[in-house]
């Protein structure tokens, strides 16, 4: 058998990566030529994988690591120093605030509902744009809601009707469900129902977070509670008729945070599964990388204040969203005394260039089938709902893509393309 010279192959890979960069920088780039270069890179990676350490391949691939499936947490995120009270945000006057981010008025940008301790719920409407937020003065008790002693909001579409429903965690550990009986653009919330869908109360200070942790198409629930524990409620029902199993304490390799745990789930290392960022009592962040899979998560030991994040001033309650529309996840944190701290993600791998991307996703509106037509291949398409939750991921989509599992409603489809550029598209499903 012919012996492979791995040093020579690594040098060859580096040269071809430079060719790809040059080809992409040219205005008259050829999709066929780029695909040929991509194929050569894939062949080299297959020859080198298992013989050359992954971190060396990532270093050679640089910003193209995610395109070829070699992303890691060390290159995926980089947060700059925080900005206090950005985008015109002002304190509600409460010394503890709990932010939840979602597009509540259906205009494509990120609004914010803030729960407080022993005060009102407040709505901050984003009157800016998807890339330049600007928040109006807060409105107390919006959309027919009324507050209790402590309200920690979380949004998701629990009944599959295309608008966002609201779950409030409370001081007693109770979870109260408010169905959205309005619409995706004009929400109106019904009176609260305590512990619906088989849910049970947690210990004090319930902090809910929805995500599809087992990738079965419905929203599961992770709840932080007093003493830093996490309770996991698997949704054993459906996307339109939820039913939650008995809670599991600190499951899937997770461990308790310090005193208070405020969980947030997102794909931080860009490997297709959900990782967790946990806010804690002393203002620290604990990061749990998901080393399992999309269907069987398993979380590694926590890392303290990763990716350049720094501790805030007590009671860190983070919320995640792409505030500047550049394709990566930013972090908004409410801290003690009602101040907001904004950590912008300066991820060099994420470049949102929709206006320069030739192609489309059609039809729009759509029913059960979509066609992806771009001059540069789509490596992965992520369907994100109005609460910022990824509800469907499709690898290498092209023609006649089955999206029948999606509920009717509005979606932002975030596409990762061949050359690591990203594009975002607003689609409506009937």
Q: Is 318 in contact with 332 (CB distance < 8 Å)? A: yes
Taking the C-alpha atoms of residue 373 and residue 362, their distance in angstroms, rounded to an integer, is: 8
- Residues 371-385: tens digit of each pLDDT: 998 877 888 898 988
Taking the C-alpha atoms of residue 86 and residue 4, their distance in angstroms, rounded to an integer, is: 54
Which of 71-80, 104-113, 161-170, 184-193 is predicted with the least confidence, judged by mean pLDDT? 71-80
Is the pLDDT at 85 greater than 90? The verdict is: yes
Average pLDDT over residues 414-428: 79
Say which residue, 67 or 19, is predicted with more confidence: 19
Angle, alpha carbons 239-241-243 (nearest 5°): 100
Is the pLDDT at 342 greater than 60? The verdict is: yes
Which helix or strand (DSSP H or E) is residue 279 part of?
A: strand 275-279
The whole-number pLDDT of residue 63 equals 60
Taking the C-alpha atoms of residue 381 and residue 390, their distance in angstroms, rounded to an integer, is: 10
Average pLDDT over residues 227-236: 95
Average pLDDT over residues 283-307: 92
Arithmetic mean of pLDDT over the chain = 86
- Tokens at 213, concatenated: 């942790």
CB 229: neighbour CB atoms within 10 A? 17
Taking the C-alpha atoms of residue 274 and residue 292, their distance in angstroms, rounded to an integer, is: 9
% of the chain beyond a pLDDT of 90: 50
The whole-number pLDDT of residue 71 equals 52
Is the pLDDT at 335 greater than 50? The verdict is: yes
% of the chain beyond a pLDDT of 70: 90
Beta-sheet pairing, 351-352 with 421-429: parallel
3-state secondary structure 54-118: HHHHHHHHHHHCCCCCCCCHHHHCCECCCEECCCCCCCCCCCCEEEEEECCCCCCCCEEEEEEEC
The whole-number pLDDT of residue 353 equals 40
Closest CA to 122 of 143, 95, 149: 143
- Sheet (strand 193-194) strand order: 152-156, 165-169, 175-178, 193-194
Closest CA to 211 of 169, 171, 157: 157
Average pLDDT over residues 300-323: 92
Give buried/exposed letters for 126-148 (b at 16+ CB in 10 A, else e). Answer: bebebeebebeebeeebbebebe
Which residues, in sequence order, are bridge partners of residue 210?
Answer: 221
Is the pLDDT at 348 greater than 90? The verdict is: no
- Residues 191-211: tens digit of each pLDDT: 999 999 999 999 889 999 999
The confidence band for 355, taking pLDDT boundaries of 50, 70 and 90, is very low
Say which residue, 24 or 333, is predicted with more confidence: 333
3-state secondary structure of 41: helix
The whole-number pLDDT of residue 347 equals 62
- Pick the most confident of 269-273, 309-313, 353-357, 415-419: 309-313
The whole-number pLDDT of residue 73 equals 43
The whole-number pLDDT of residue 70 equals 61
Taking the C-alpha atoms of residue 200 and residue 245, their distance in angstroms, rounded to an integer, is: 9
Average pLDDT over residues 265-290: 90
The whole-number pLDDT of residue 380 equals 86
Angle, alpha carbons 213-217-221 (nearest 5°): 40
Which of 247-261, 281-295, 340-354 is predicted with the least confidence, judged by mean pLDDT? 340-354
Q: Is 331 in contact with 320 (CB distance < 8 Å)? A: yes
Closest CA to 171 of 203, 198, 194: 203
Distances (CA, A) of 233 to 182, 218, 221, 237: 27, 12, 5, 11
The residue with tokens 């203002």 is 283
Average pLDDT over residues 163-168: 95
Mutual angle of helices 31-48 and 6-25, in 10-degree steps = 160
Residues 6+ apart with CB under 8 A from 88: 134, 135, 136
Cα radius of gyration rounded to whole Å, the chain: 22
- Residues 90-136: tens digit of each pLDDT: 989 898 999 999 999 988 889 999 999 888 999 999 999 888 999 99
């Amino acid at each position: 058998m012919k012996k492979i010279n791995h040093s020579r192959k690594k040098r060859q890979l580096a040269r071809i990566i430079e060719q790809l960069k040059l080809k992409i920088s040219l205005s008259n780039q050829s999709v066929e030529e780029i695909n040929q270069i991509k194929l050569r890179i894939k062949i080299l990676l297959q020859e080198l994988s298992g013989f050359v350490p992954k971190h060396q391949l990532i270093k050679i691939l640089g910003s193209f690591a995610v395109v070829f499936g070699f992303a890691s947490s060390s290159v995926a995120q980089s947060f700059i120093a925080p900005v206090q009270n950005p985008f015109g945000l002002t304190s509600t006057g409460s010394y503890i605030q709990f932010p939840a981010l979602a597009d509540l008025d259906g205009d494509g940008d990120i609004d914010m509902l803030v729960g407080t301790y022993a005060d009102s719920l407040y709505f901050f409407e984003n009157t800016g744009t998807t890339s330049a937020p600007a928040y109006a003065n807060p409105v107390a008790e919006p959309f027919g809601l009324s507050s209790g002693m402590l309200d920690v909001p979380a949004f998701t579409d629990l009944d599959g009707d295309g608008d966002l429903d609201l779950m409030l965690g409370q001081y007693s550990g109770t979870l109260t469900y408010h169905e959205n009986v309005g619409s995706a653009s004009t929400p109106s919330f019904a009176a609260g129902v305590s512990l619906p869908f088989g849910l049970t109360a947690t210990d004090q200070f319930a902090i809910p977070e929805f995500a599809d942790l087992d990738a079965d198409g419905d929203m599961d629930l992770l709840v932080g509670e007093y003493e830093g524990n996490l309770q996991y409620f698997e949704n054993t029902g459906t996307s339109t008729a939820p039913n939650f199993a008995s809670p599991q304490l600190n499951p899937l390799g997770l461990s308790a945070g310090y005193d208070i745990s405020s969980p947030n789930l997102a794909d931080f290392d860009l490997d297709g599964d959900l990782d967790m960022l946990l806010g804690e009592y002393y203002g620290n962040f604990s990061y749990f990388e998901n080393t399992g899979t999309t269907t069987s998560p398993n979380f590694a030991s926590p890392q303290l204040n990763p990716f350049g994040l720094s501790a805030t001033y007590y009671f860190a309650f983070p919320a995640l969203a792409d505030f500047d529309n550049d394709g990566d996840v930013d972090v908004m944190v409410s801290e003690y005394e009602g101040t907001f701290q904004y950590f912008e993600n300066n991820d060099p791998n994420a470049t949102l260039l929709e206006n320069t991307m030739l192609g489309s996703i059609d039809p729009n509106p759509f029913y059960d089938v979509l066609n992806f037509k771009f001059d540069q291949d789509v490596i992965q398409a992520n369907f994100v709902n109005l609460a910022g939750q990824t509800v469907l991921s499709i690898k290498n989509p092209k023609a006649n893509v089955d999206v029948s599992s999606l509920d009717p409603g509005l979606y932002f489809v975030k596409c990762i393309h061949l050359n690591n550029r990203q594009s975002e598209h607003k689609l409506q499903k009937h």
